[in-house]
Amino acid sequence: MQKWFQKAKLGIFIHYGIYAVKGVSESWSFYHGSISYEDYMRQLEGFTASRFDADHWAELFRKSGARYAVLTSKHHDGVAMYDTKYSDLSVVKKSPAARDILGNYIEAIRKAGLKVGVYYSLMDWSHPDYASVYPDGRVPEDPAGGNKYSQPMDGRQDEKAWQRFLEFDRAQLKEILTNYGKVDLLWFDGDWERSAAQWGLPEFKDYLKSFNPDLIINNRFAGYGDYLTPEQGIPVNRPKGVWEFCTTINSSWGYQHRDNHYKSLRQIIHMFCDCLSMGGNLLLDVGPMEDGTIPPRQEAVLLGLGEWIRANEEAVYDSVAGIPANYYGDGSVLSEDGQTLYLFVHNVPREAICVKGLQNRVTRATILHSGKELGYTVHGGAPWNDIPGILWIFMTEEDCAESTTVVKLELKDRVRLYDGGGAVVTDNH
Contact residues for ligand GLC (CB under 6 A)?
A: 15, 26, 28, 189, 231, 246, 253
Nearer to ligand GLC, 9 or 15 (CB): 15
Nearer to ligand GLC, 231 or 410 (CB): 231
CB of 177 to ligand GLC, least distance (A): 20
Nearer to ligand GLC, 72 or 360 (CB): 72
Nearer to ligand GLC, 20 or 345 (CB): 20
Nearer to ligand GLC, 70 or 407 (CB): 70
Nearer to ligand GLC, 51 or 257 (CB): 257
Report the C-alpha gap between 340 and 267 in whole angstroms: 25
Alpha-carbon dihedral sign for residues 356, 357, 363, 368: negative
CB of 374 to ligand GLC, least distance (A): 40
CB of 271 to ligand GLC, least distance (A): 15
CB of 253 to ligand GLC, least distance (A): 5
Nearer to ligand GLC, 119 or 165 (CB): 119
CB of 323 to ligand GLC, least distance (A): 30
Nearer to ligand GLC, 126 or 319 (CB): 126
CB of 121 to ligand GLC, least distance (A): 8
CB of 361 to ligand GLC, least distance (A): 44
Beta bridge partners of 68: 11, 115
Nearer to ligand GLC, 173 or 406 (CB): 173
CB of 229 to ligand GLC, least distance (A): 7
CB of 190 to ligand GLC, least distance (A): 6
